[in-house]
Every structure is written in C-alpha cells, then in structure tokens.
C-alpha cells in the first residue's frame, strides 16, 4: 500500500489523507499488516451522512476498477451476503477484535439509535396516539413483537433495550447497558444473585414479561415463606408484580414444572428452597428442553451461604451478581447488615420474614462498623 503507517504494539496505525475531511487514522491488527501491505494502491477515507467513516480502496477485477472496503479486504470476502460488523460502531477500528462475520439480520442488530423516521427518537419505541402511551417493540427474524404500552418513552425504551440484550446476540450497545440481562449463549440454568435491594426481583419480572409478550410459555415460582405481598405474589420495589406458583418445603418442583408445560421458568427467592429442590431442578434439565432463571440471596446477615444458593453455584451454567451500592457509601454492597433495637446482629436464625426494615445492604467496612446514626 502507498499509505504511511506505524506499528504500535500489536496494532498498526495507517494514515488516511483527505482534502475534504482532513487526515484520519485507521487501525488494523499487526497480523494483517502483510496482507494490507500487498495492496497496490492507497486506502482512503469514505464517509456518507448517517453511515459514519470507513476505509476504502480501489482494486482491479477482470481489468475493471472495483472499490472494496478495508474490513472486507482483510477478511477476503467477495460475497455481499456475508457482512463484517464493527462491534464498537467505529468504521476506522479495523482490528480483528473489533470485526466479526455476520449475516444481514445480525448486522442490523448492532446499530445505534432509532431510524430517522422514528417519532419517539428511541429505537424500538413508537408513540401510540390512540392510547396516548409509548409502545415498546422488538423485531426478531422479521417478526414484530409488542412489549407493551408505557407512560413514558424512557420506560418503553428500557424494555426494548432489555429485550434486545437478551434476544439479539449482536446488539452490543444494549448488552453493555443491560449487563444484568446479558446471557451466555446456550445457558440453561442461570443464577442471578445480589444483596437486598439490588433489583433481582425487578430483573425477574421485566424479563418474564418480555418472554410472555414473545408468546413463550412461562412459569413463575416463589417459596411460600416469602408472603410479604400476599401468597403467591412476586412484587418489586419499582411496582412490577405477577402471580406465581407457590413452592412449599415438600413440593416436588420438577413435578410443577413438568405439569405446567412451560419452556421458561422463573424462580424468585431461590435461597429459600431446599437442597433437594435445587437438585430436582438440576436433574430435570438433563431431560427437558428448558431455560430456568433463579434469583436470590447468596448469603445471609451472618455472611453464611444459604445452602440452596451454594448448590446453585455448583450446578448453574451462568452465575451473575447483580450489584448495588452500600446503603452508607458509594462502595459496592457485598453483605447484609441486620440492626435490631439499635444493635448490629451477627447471630440468630437465618430467616426473619417481614422484617425488611431491619436489614441494610452494605460494604464490608460498614458491615463491621455501621454509622452511629443507625446504632446506639
């Protein structure tokens, strides 16, 4: 190639001179330098409004001048049916780690913002004049699914973003935003844990809502001991709620799941299940085509593991901590502090339902030394 370049570690910077736009730099991986250097002409900057900046060059094919993109040249892809996706949306970042082969549908997943014709200004959101609300939606395999109507564009946009993070494997921006919904490909048993107030139940209810809107047969389960909002009712602090099947200590969970005929299972407060029930779930997955989401606490206020949660750590395909800040500072909350009658409590029964006001989600420092305003 005729461009000036310099090697920086395992990447190469190539200078692109443009009278119209000025000088730009594009990056490639060092391993691709030999191939790119064989290019006989100059690489130049290409820009089109709404498409961003990319790198092009001219080659001769059968004595005919043909234009090719640098990212396609690196992958040696003549077929237009195969696309090369820039993961970070930067067409000047042509390093291997930022490029991936995709089909048309996968390529369309990884885009930013709404279409220019969108009246809401948000991707996956349309204003419904009839209902005076915002409709959230997602397109999967060219089928449009409505995710419901919401009062604000922000609520509708969040729902669409969550759905894309889960069901669009190449929606990079949404997966980076909705990190606590992103899944490992092929996971069948997912355990999401966090301290009190971290948003576990909110996660469960929003995700189960999306599955239901996508016409999936789902089943929600909750242990009988957690009846804070009524028997068989799962409710989050943000106001989301749903009825659920009740699990008792002697309940055969595998039997409930099998009878429901559901393909996606959501279990709240899984830390209150028995060890045998966790084993039933794990065993069932060996014979059924299911996806099971489990949500709950990992440890109690004594910083001891719940037995069922510990078992899930052993058998889950994906384990994810939903993080939140300490009640007293900006550090990550990693423990649950119990304060009763102005005194920190580190011993006693593991479970005390209906006493949420006694607990604080805190960092390790405030676990051992809570502020004086809460103790006396």
Q: For residues 352 and 335, give the distance between their C-alpha atoms in angstroms, rounded to a whole number.
A: 16
**Alpha-helical segments (H) within 287-350:** 307-315
For residue 336, the 8-state DSSP code is E
Q: How far apart are CA 376 and CA 374, in angstroms?
A: 7
Give yes or no: 352 in active site: no
Residue 218 CA to residue 263 CA, distance in Å, equals 6
Burial class (CB in 10 A: 0-12, 13-18, 19+), 44: middle
Which tokens go with 298? 């990992």
Give CA 79 to chain center in angstroms. Answer: 32
Residue 315's Cβ-count burial label (10 Å; 0-12, 13-18, 19+) is middle
What is the SS3 assignment for 117? Answer: coil
Give the CA distances from residue 125 to residues 115, 151, 176, in Å, rounded to whole numbers and listed in that order. 11, 12, 19
**Of 158, 245, 269, 311, catalytic:** 269
What is the SS3 assignment for 197?
Answer: coil
Computed on alpha carbons and rounded to an integer, the radius of gyration of the chain in Å comes to 26
Q: What is the Cα–Cα distance from 203 to 338, expressed in whole angstroms?
A: 25
**CB contact at 8 A, 218 and 204:** no
Output the six-digit token pair for 250.
Answer: 């002697």
Q: Let me know: does 370 contact 337? Beta carbons within 8 Å.
A: yes
Q: Which residues are catalytically annotated?
A: 269
């Amino acid at each position: 190639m005729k461009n000036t370049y310099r090697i920086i570690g395992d990447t190469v910077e190539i200078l692109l001179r443009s009278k119209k736009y000025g000088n730009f730099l594009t990056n490639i991986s060092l391993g691709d330098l030999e191939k790119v250097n064989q290019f006989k002409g100059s690489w130049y900057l290409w820009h089109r409004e709404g498409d961003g900046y990319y790198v092009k060059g001219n080659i001769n094919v059968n004595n005919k001048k043909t234009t090719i993109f640098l990212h396609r040249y690196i992958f040696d892809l003549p077929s237009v049916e195969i696309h090369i996706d820039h993961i970070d949306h930067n067409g000047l970042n042509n390093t291997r780690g930022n490029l991936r082969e995709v089909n048309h549908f996968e390529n369309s997943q990884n885009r930013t913002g709404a279409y220019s014709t969108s009246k809401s200004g948000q991707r996956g959101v349309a204003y419904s004049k009839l209902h005076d609300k915002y409709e959230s939606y997602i397109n999967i395999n060219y089928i449009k699914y409505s995710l419901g109507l919401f009062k604000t564009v922000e609520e509708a946009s969040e729902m669409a973003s969550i759905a894309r993070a889960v069901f669009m494997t190449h929606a990079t921006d949404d997966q980076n935003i909705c990190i606590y919904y992103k899944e490992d490909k092929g996971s069948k048993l997912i355990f999401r844990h966090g301290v009190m107030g971290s948003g576990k139940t909110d996660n469960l209810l929003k995700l189960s809502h999306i599955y239901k809107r996508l016409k999936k047969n789902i089943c929600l389960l909750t242990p009988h001991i957690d009846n804070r909002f009524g028997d068989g009712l799962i409710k989050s602090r943000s106001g989301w709620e749903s009825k659920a099947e009740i699990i008792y200590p002697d309940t055969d969970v595998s039997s409930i799941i099998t009878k429901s005929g559901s393909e996606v299972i959501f279990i709240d407060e899984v830390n209150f299940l028995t060890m045998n029930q966790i084993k039933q779930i794990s065993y069932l997955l060996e014979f059924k085509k299911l996806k099971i989401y489990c949500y709950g606490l990992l440890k109690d206020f004594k910083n001891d593991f719940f037995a069922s949660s510990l078992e899930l750590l052993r058998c889950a395909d994906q384990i994810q901590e939903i993080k939140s800040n300490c009640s007293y500072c900006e550090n990550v909350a990693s423990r649950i502090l119990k304060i009763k009658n102005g005194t920190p409590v580190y011993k006693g029964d593991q479970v005390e339902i209906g006493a949420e006001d006694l607990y604080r989600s805190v960092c390790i420092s405030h676990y051992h030394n809570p502020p004086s305003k809460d103790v006396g």
